[in-house]
């Protein structure tokens, strides 16, 4: 029996959170363990319960380790334009410089151009440790271009980790080549394991010289995806699974997907919200299919976290993104600029820089441990969310008005746990605050009790307080987790002494539109 | 009549190029074009024209009605 298959796509509403929780209660493979107790590379600073060999592979990978994403950068090269399946949430025709979402790039590269770009970026941004090929189509629908690019980089910059993101249709055919180029991270987008549901997400696939539609298409796709996943994990290649949460179509079913991929050896599951603005021209955008709210997304992620590491810091970036997650420096590295560059790959400087980053990371973890010790002995059931404005390095170091996104932490007596991020429009542009943008920000972090910033102006401060969100600037340029725990301790003290009353916050909106470039 | 690609709809994704059994497709001026002299409408190769089957934009690879239909050699 499948509940999701009978679910009407148009009836999505908040009541579904309850239904999801119900579906989860019946589902054994993915038990909940109280929400915050689970060690996870997606939410914790340290190794947690990951086997050492996996931890070694992921600890400096921004897409796989929440903690690493504050310190290390990634880049994608758009060498793979062709795709072999059609998804209802994707429209390849739309391309705009201000658009930041998967499937979108500004220019295609040849493998040779891509290799030069990688070296140029690696020399300019020493914390760039990961090169991914994620499209804009499917890398394995363009196997020659994809593997030529890997070969060139593998030969010139062997310290750069290679990874690949695929829909999985052609994966079983290429597993040996993936192993040959030492690609040790593969992401497979798996949105369903039930072809009935798949038929609502994928209108067609192109496989062995034939276009398949409906149930048949989805059946081939899911069989190939799961077979590919098994083949990779057998060879010790790390696999992350991405799933797009589509309310009313696969939201409840993703619990089943979680169980299926976990049992086949995936080490991390990334459930992402559907992006479906009508202006993107996707099938879902045009037929009014909505994305999930922040609360619905978190409820699903929390429920799958029991036995599997969940990723919550995914930025759903472009197939040609460059930089730390959440920032995009691709405009600095256009083909014209790169081809004119004199590139010298300096492995030594990169190594020295990365050693410094490691020292920072250790200091940050130590600071957090200290503060956690302070919290020991305090007992309370209260859990609150707080938003943080950061530019990276794990510090509260961004001005409220300059933040393009806020990181969200859940605070409890167990400590500070990263649970997601919220994109916001730039509130401050050219030095002038815009009231409309402030409303957008408040909607995006409406479920938070406080927002931690390096600096904030008087006007937004007043409006935030009116909205019930406390602006906190006293921890400017300090470590996020340590500061959040200190603030939470003071909050609990105030609640206990009766000075303030603890009230639950409402839901928040997930930003859908284009990311406006800071430049 | 061979197939043609409507340039204004082509996303230039290149998916059709390697699928063509006649190597009739190449990039030209930012989009892809089909050489009408080489196109056999995939007759004798596949059940459906490969460019049509793989193209992500519907009605972009279409029959060119200004040319006569392809005739398989006797």
Residue-wise pLDDT tens digits, A64-119: 666 677 777 778 888 988 999 999 988 876 554 444 445 555 577 899 989 988 88
**A92 contacts chain B (CB < 8 A):** yes
Residues facing residue A241 across a β-bridge: A188, A269
Least CA distance to A90: which residue of chain B?
B56
**A141 contacts chain B (CB < 8 A):** yes
% of chain A residues with pLDDT over 70: 79
Domain ranges of chain B: 3-63
Q: What is the pLDDT of residue A326?
A: 62
> End-to-end distance of chain B based on CA atoms, in angstroms?
17
Q: What is the pLDDT of residue A106?
A: 59
Q: What is the pLDDT of residue A205?
A: 96
Residues 204-243, chain A, touching B (beta carbon < 8 A): 206, 209-211
**A467 contacts chain B (CB < 8 A):** no
Q: Is there a contact between A81 and B15 if contact means CB atoms under 8 Å apart?
A: yes
CATH number of B3-63: 3.30.70.20
Q: Is there a contact between A137 and B12 if contact means CB atoms under 8 Å apart?
A: no
Cis peptide before A136 (omega within 30 of 0): yes
- Kindly report the average pLDDT of chain A as a whole number: 79
Asked whether the beta carbons of A167 and A84 are under 8 A apart, the reply is yes
Residue B57 CB partners (closer than 8 Å, separation 6+) = A92, A93, B9, B10, B11
Q: What is the pLDDT of residue A404?
A: 82
Residue A395 CB partners (closer than 8 Å, separation 6+) = A477, A478, A479, A480
Q: Following DSSP, what letter does each residue of A470-514 receive, concatenated?
A: EEE-TTTTSBHHHHHHHHHHHHHHHHHTTSS--------PPP-SP
Q: Is there a contact between B57 and A83 if contact means CB atoms under 8 Å apart?
A: no
Select the more confidently predicted residue: A179 or B73.
A179
CB atoms within 10 A of CB A494: 13
* A24 — pLDDT class (breaks 50, 70, 90): very low
Query: Stretch A200-220: mean pLDDT, rounded?
Result: 96
* A402 — pLDDT class (breaks 50, 70, 90): confident
**A82 contacts chain B (CB < 8 A):** yes
Q: How far is A169 from chain B (nearest CA, A)?
A: 14
ipTM: 0.91
Asked whether the beta carbons of A90 and A135 are under 8 A apart, the reply is no
Residues in chain B with CB shorter than 8 Å from the CB of A82 are 13-15, 17-18, 54
CB nearest B57 (choices: A81, A82, A93): A93
- Rounded to whole angstroms, the Cα distance separating A187 from A10 reads 30
Q: Is there a contact between A211 and B57 if contact means CB atoms under 8 Å apart?
A: no
CB atoms within 10 A of CB A474: 10
Q: What is the 3-state secondary structure (H, E, C) of B46-72?
A: CCCCHHHHHCCCCCCEEECCCCCCCCC
Select the more confidently predicted residue: A375 or A448.
A448
State pTM to two decimals: 0.76
Q: Is there a contact between A86 and B56 if contact means CB atoms under 8 Å apart?
A: yes
- pLDDT of residue A343 exceeding 70, the answer is yes
- pLDDT of residue A504 exceeding 90, the answer is no
Query: Stretch A4-11: mean pLDDT, rounded?
Result: 37
Residues in chain B with CB shorter than 8 Å from the CB of A137 are 13, 15
Least CA distance to A84: which residue of chain B?
B54
Report the range of poorest mean pLDDT among A191-200, A377-386, B36-45: A377-386
Size of interface A-B (CB pairs under 8 A): 44
């Amino acid at each position: 029996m499948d509940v999701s298959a009978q679910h009407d796509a148009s009836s999505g509403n908040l009541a579904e959170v309850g239904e999801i929780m119900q579906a989860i209660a019946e589902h054994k493979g993915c038990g909940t363990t109280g929400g915050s107790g689970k060690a996870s590379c997606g939410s914790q600073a340290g190794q947690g319960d990951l086997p050492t060999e996996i931890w070694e592979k992921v600890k400096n990978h921004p897409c796989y380790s929440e903690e690493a994403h504050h310190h290390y950068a990634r880049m994608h090269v758009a060498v793979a334009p062709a795709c072999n399946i059609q998804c209802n949430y994707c429209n390849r025709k739309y391309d705009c410089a201000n658009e930041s979402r998967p499937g979108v790039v500004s220019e295609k590269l040849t493998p040779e151009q891509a290799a030069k770009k990688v070296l140029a970026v690696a020399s300019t941004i020493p914390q760039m440790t990961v090169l991914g090929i994620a499209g804009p189509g499917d890398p394995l629908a363009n196997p020659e271009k994809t593997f030529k690019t890997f070969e060139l980089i593998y030969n010139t910059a062997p310290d750069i980790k290679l990874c690949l993101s695929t829909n999985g249709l052609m994966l079983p055919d290429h597993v040996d080549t993936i192993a040959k180029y030492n690609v040790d991270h593969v992401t497979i987008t798996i949105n369903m394991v039930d072809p009935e549901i798949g038929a609502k997400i994928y209108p067609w696939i192109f496989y062995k010289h034939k276009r398949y539609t409906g149930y048949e298409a989805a059946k081939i796709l899911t069989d190939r995806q799961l077979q590919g996943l098994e083949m990779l994990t057998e060879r010790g290649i790390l696999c992350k699974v991405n799933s797009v949460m589509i309310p009313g179509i696969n939201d409840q079913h993703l619990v089943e997907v979680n169980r299926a991929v976990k049992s086949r050896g995936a080490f991390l599951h990334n459930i992402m919200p559907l992006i479906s603005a009508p202006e993107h021209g996707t099938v879902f955008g045009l037929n009014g299919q909505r994305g999930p709210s922040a609360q619905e997304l978190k409820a699903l992620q929390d429920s799958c976290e029991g036995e599997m590491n969940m990723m919550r810091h995914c930025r759903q970036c472009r197939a040609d993104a460059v930089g730390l997650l959440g920032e995009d420096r691709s405009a600095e590295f256009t083909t014209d600029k790169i081809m004119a560059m004199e590139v010298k790959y300096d492995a030594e400087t990169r190594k020295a820089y990365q050693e410094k980053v490691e020292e920072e990371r250790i200091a940050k973890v130590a600071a957090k441990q200290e503060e956690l010790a302070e919290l020991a002995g305090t007992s309370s059931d209260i859990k609150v969310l707080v938003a943080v404005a950061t530019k990276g390095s794990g510090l509260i170091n961004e001005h409220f008005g300059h933040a393009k996104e806020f990181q969200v932490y859940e605070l409890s007596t167990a400590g500070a746990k990263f649970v997601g991020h919220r994109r916001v429009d730039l509130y401050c542009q050219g030095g002038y605050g815009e009231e409309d943008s402030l409303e957008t920000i408040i909607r995006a972090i409406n479920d938070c009790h406080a927002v931690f910033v390096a600096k904030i102006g008087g006007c937004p401060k007043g409006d935030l307080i009116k909205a019930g969100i406390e602006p906190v600037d006293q921890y400017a340029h300090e470590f996020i987790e340590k500061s959040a725990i200190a603030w939470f301790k003071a909050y609990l003290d105030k609640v206990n002494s009766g000075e303030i009353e603890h009230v639950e916050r409402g839901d928040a909106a997930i930003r859908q539109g284009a990311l406006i470039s800071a430049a | 009549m061979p197939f043609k690609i409507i340039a204004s709809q082509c996303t230039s994704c290149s998916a059709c190029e390697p699928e063509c059994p006649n190597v009739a497709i190449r990039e030209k001026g930012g989009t892809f074009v089909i050489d009408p002299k080489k196109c056999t409408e995939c007759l004798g190769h596949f059940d459906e024209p490969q460019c049509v089957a793989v193209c992500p934009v519907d009605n972009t690879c279409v029959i060119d009605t200004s040319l006569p239909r392809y005739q398989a050699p006797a």
